Chain A
Amino acid sequence: MAKLAKRTVKQLLRLLSLLLAVCIFSFWLMERSPVDPVQAYVGAGAAVSPEQRESISRQWGLGESPARRFGSWAGSVLRGDLGDSLLYRRPVARVIGEKFTASLALMACAWVLSGVIGLLLGILMGLYRGGLLDRILKTICLVLSSTPAFWVGMVLLAVFAVELGWFPVGLRVPPGIVESEATLLQRLHHLALPALTLTIASFGGVALQVREKMAAVMDSDYILFARARGETKGQMVRRHALRAVAVPAVTMQFALFGELFGGSVLAEQVFSYPGLGQAAVQAGLGGDVPLLLGVALCGAVFVFTGNFLADLLHSLLDPRVREGEA
């Protein structure tokens, strides 16, 4: 266990160094942007005198060196203050908190669904490798993993929301209803299509990876022996393959957080679902630097959490790593 603790601490330190690098790099990128922050703040067409601009820019410390500004920004981030969003005119931390909950609901649904569907299809394909079923499923998965998430969303939107009218066209709650008053059913109704989009865009890749693992398992000696004992395919899966495939599958699923986040940005954009992804797009298009930095930081923490959990689970679940053999 001491070994595991040491590994974990080392991993955490590494993640901290990466996180710091993400902060510096994002800050540097924002610094390089040709977008004038004062102009973005006052908005187009607003009558603002040069003196007022001057005072805003002085208040923000725009005249100071980038290093000093980074220092003061990083200092406030450590205290939990991410600044104020220019678009929402509210603290960035609060905006992100709200949006992230919405995104999290979306991502969690898709994460579980794509994981389960991917695992099942992957096992099925590996079990009947080379057969007709395998070939059909493999083609489907390959096509789906090459399909952009936003296009999946648009097709679903055109079919299920516009033509059939089964689901709402977008947003998180019905129009005219305050967010807090919407019922759970209404929320789920609005969540369904974006979550389905994200699931469809993700499970193909998962299934193909599970298929590879499953193929390796089916080639193993213990499956050969199981077959010699006369086990049926179902028994083989339940007694041997499921365990062997589940560990890498779960680990992969945690390492998928980055792609999931990216997919949710696109799905949210298509369905005008007010999540973090939509906030990122608005912030990028509207020149809202504090919000954009906040989202980048939040995304990085999200991905690193996934990687960290993947690593931890891998060492907990895999007896070879746990015992320190590998």
Chain B
Amino acid sequence: MSGGTRAIAALVVPALLLALVFVLGAAVGEQALSADFAAKNSPPSPGHPFGTDWMGRDMLARTLKGLSLSIATGLIASGVSAVIGLLVGVAAGVFPGWVDSLCNWLIDFVLGIPHIVLLILISFAAGRGAAGVTIGIACTHWTGLARLIRGEALRIRQEPYIKISRRLGKSSGFVMRRHILPHMLPHFIVGLVLLFPHAILHEAAITFLGFGLSPEQPAVGIILSESMQYLAAGAWWLAVFPGAALVAAVLLFDALGERLKRLFAAGGWREHP
């Protein structure tokens, strides 16, 4: 396999796996999630690889469903978050002075309240539920990307072609749209993908604490918080497999982001520390 094929494969395989989990989870119907009291509390077996819970529901089906819910929430939240990061970062990098100071202050402000506490506050304000979590994650995860893009924008501003464009009388808006934003695209895409793991982890955490998705939805956080009650009784599989699946999904997203980063770097895109 040539280097190029390998690079593409390394990119496509995690993406396909995640897409598969998402589709499988979405395809899991009521039937697979229904209670079967004849087979309750059974440890992992060939019929139920992840075991069953106290109502005899298959844990593999519930985990898949939960992961696909998490991925959907993560997609929306990190998409919004990345856009906020892009806007704040570019604004800070293009307009030095009070806009830059304001953006930095805003970043420090969001980082100032511990994430989990801020998520609890926002979820409380939104009356809990999926909307609260999504808004909360979207509002809290853009800071890192904003900082990165600000630095990049500051660097690009010094390039000769920007200076020439300005001397030719182009407006700040024109320079931003035509010269700076296109340069931010790789950062934006990589940042978006790398936001995913954090978004999913925080979604699971806040749901675990009882603020996120409603108990009727088998989100991974819900599954894990329910399994807390059965952990003392020795039902370890209720916690171990769904959690491990969550970690695996997070690692896949991480790998995807890192690969993308390397791919863009190979294409002449300079990596910013």
Contacts and interface: CB of A to CB of B under 8 A. Distances in A.
B121 A158 contact: no
Given A261-B117, A292-B121, A146 B250 contact: yes
B243 to A, nearest CB: 4
B125 A148 contact: no
B204 interface: yes
Contacts of B122: 29
Contact of A150 (B112, B114, B127, B224): B224
A296 interface: yes
Q: Secondary structure of the A side of the interface?
A: helix
Contact of A292 (B124, B228, B232, B246): B124
Contact of B243 (A32, A151, A261): A151
Interface in B123-144: 123-127
B227 A154 contact: yes
Contacts of A203: none
Interface string B212-241: 000000000000100110011010100110
B204 to A, nearest CB: 6
A236 to B, nearest CB: 23
Interface string A239-266: 0000000000000000001110110011
Nearest to A146: B250
Contacts of B224: 150-151, 154
Interface in B55-113: 105, 108-109, 111-113
B129 to A, nearest CB: 10
A309 to B, nearest CB: 14
Nearest to B227: A154
B205 A29 contact: no
Interface residues of A, number: 53
A18 B117 contact: no
Interface in A12-49: 14, 17-19, 21-22, 25-26, 29-30, 32-35
A157 B231 contact: yes
A295 interface: yes
A158 B115 CA distance: 27
Contacts of B114: 257-259, 261-262, 265, 299-300, 302-303
Contacts of A169: 232
Contacts of A285: 210-211
Given A158-B239, A292-B124, A265 B208 contact: no
21 contacts: A29-B122, A29-B125, A30-B124, A32-B125, A33-B124, A147-B247, A151-B247, A155-B240, A157-B231, A158-B231, A163-B234, A163-B236, A169-B232, A258-B111, A259-B115, A261-B116, A266-B208, A281-B210, A287-B124, A295-B117, A296-B117
Given A150-B205, A285-B210, 19 more contacts: A17-B105, A18-B109, A18-B112, A26-B113, A34-B127, A142-B254, A146-B251, A147-B243, A151-B246, A155-B239, A155-B243, A162-B234, A259-B115, A261-B117, A266-B208, A266-B209, A295-B117, A296-B117, A299-B117
